[in-house]
Amino acid sequence: MTQYLLSIDNGTQSVRALLFDLHGNLVAKTQVHLQPAYYSEQPGWAEHKAEGYWDAVCAACQRLWTVTDIPRSAVAGVAVTTQRGTVVSVDSDGKPLRAAITWLDQRRTEQVPPLGPLWKAAFKLAGVEGTIDYFRREAEVNWIKAHQPFLWERTHKFLLLSGYLNFCLSGRYADSTGSQVAYMPFDYKRHAWAGARDWKWQALAVRPDQLPELVQPGAVIGAINAAAAQATGIPEGVPLVAAAADKACEVIGAGGLEPHIGCLSYGTTATINTTTTKYVEVTPFIPPYPAAIPGAYSTEVQIFRGYWMVNWFKEQFGHLEQSAAVEQGMPPEALFDRLVNDVPPGSMGLMLQPYWSPGIKVPGPEAKGAMIGFGDVHTRAHMYRAILEGLAYALREGRERIEKRSGTKITELRVAGGGSQSDAAMQLTADIFGLPAARAHVYETSGLGAAIAIAAGLGLHKDFASAINAMTRPGRVFQPDPAHRKTYNQLYHRVYLKMYKRLQPMYAEIAAITGYPDTL
């Protein structure tokens, strides 16, 4: 019997159940939208009921069996990939004690565990005091301990969303090393929980016994248990295989196996990644994330709320295109591409700096977004193109930082995520980077990455490299236009690279006067 691989992809906006064959073809798909994606009880908060994620997983899986003739018995294995940095506290029965705090949440606390004098002196000497303090204030575990101490005392396990869903499916508290992207006591160099003497145990309120067991991508976590089988329709006993976080899975799902391949993700957070077996800190003292391949690293640079800006624009200014698309029975993306193509490269001098959320070091915690160069010639079409261009400029800057720190030139681009479905976005990406930009052969690249982990882990392909080579391939390739490339090079070097440095002092003044974002 032909074997198939079931990926469960729990993103920010929806949960998808995806069935792949061993050649990387998507043969069946269902999607359950999360309504709402998150809610806010306070400004800057972003929460979602943890049980709601599991309910959506169950609904997506149950629907999957109604849209395909493939028998459930043909499913060789299951893997979970999820949004990163979303945390769930559970009691001794594995029941959530509070809503999940999502990765979009911006709360922080000043009530943090104290660091020992030796660590404080070491961080001060290294000049990273601010980075460590940021880590401690942002950590969800510290906020819960400080503001909900009774709840924290009842916390049996402190899990990422991936670990919570793995428990729901198998009954085992286990998670992939490839999913550990959060304010957790994780050793990013060794891909294990931090050693007993590591400073993170002082900086974070969590105890070792409150964390799940860690396994490498491709390892078998367990099997679908009876309760999960009844809830999802997945046959009991099917192996549950460890995958990785959605961005890491997206990289290998787009074919990003070698360090010369730059993988762009045009999702809610926009990123550029390369995969390497060498530990490289693209930003000093900020570790690379674990890749979806055992023992490998992702040299990631991210633009927080990247393609969220595109959706924001569509919601605020794109009603005409959305209405026209419904009337004409066509996807709205085609009409938004027309907006972009109606404007020349460079948006007639309109420039966007896409730091719409603060960072740790690049950009710093004072960062805000900016759009400069307005004139009476500009319309919302210019604004839309400037958003796309600004995101590509920022990712190009990330590419250059990766190249400088790693010593490896990026010579190919693979692009995935929702934004990759726009031909206009793909073309201006090729123009701004000056490199061919290849769209991944399937849209569901994070799900495909999880399927690759199943295939490699269960021996359906020899190893991860064989699985990636067999299951991924470039889709349409966009070549850079020489004239457009020249325009973008000048704007990038003479304007974009100077924007943040010149605006940074004013961002700090804005924060000092208004208290935003420091008071969240």
Element (DSSP H or E) covering residue 20: strand 14-20
Residue ranges in 233-362 assigned as alpha helix (H) = 246-253, 308-317, 319-328, 332-341
Class of 4-243 in CATH: alpha beta
Dist. CA 470–CA 20, nearest whole Å: 12
Q: Please, which pLDDT band fits residue 360 given cuts at 50, 70 and 90?
A: low
In this prediction, residue 486 carries a pLDDT of 97
Q: In the predicted model, what is the mean pLDDT of residues 148-165? A: 97
Instruction: Record the tokens describing residue 302, joined without a space.
Output: 């991210």
In this prediction, residue 44 carries a pLDDT of 86
Give the mean pLDDT of the chain: 94
Residue 210 contacts residue 155 (beta carbons within 8 Å): yes
Dist. CA 349–CA 343, nearest whole Å: 11
Q: 301 forms bridges with which residues in the sheet? A: 272
| C-beta neighbour count of 211 within 10 angstroms | 20
In this prediction, residue 519 carries a pLDDT of 42
pLDDT digits (tens, 9 = 90+) for 126-151: 888 888 998 999 999 999 999 999 99
Instruction: Record the tokens describing residue 63, joined without a space.
Output: 């629907």
In this prediction, residue 361 carries a pLDDT of 67
In this prediction, residue 304 carries a pLDDT of 82
In this prediction, residue 330 carries a pLDDT of 82
Q: Please, which pLDDT band fits residue 418 given cuts at 50, 70 and 90?
A: confident
Q: In the predicted model, what is the mean pLDDT of residues 433-441? A: 96
Q: Which of 17-26, 73-82, 207-216, 267-276 has the lowest mean pLDDT?
A: 267-276
Residue 197 clears pLDDT 80, i.e. is over it: yes
Residue 82 contacts residue 257 (beta carbons within 8 Å): no
Torsional class of 347: left (φ above 0), alpha (ψ -120 to 50), beta (otherwise): left
Cα–Cα nearest to 244, from 83, 100, 87, 90: 83
Whole-number CA gyration radius for the chain: 22
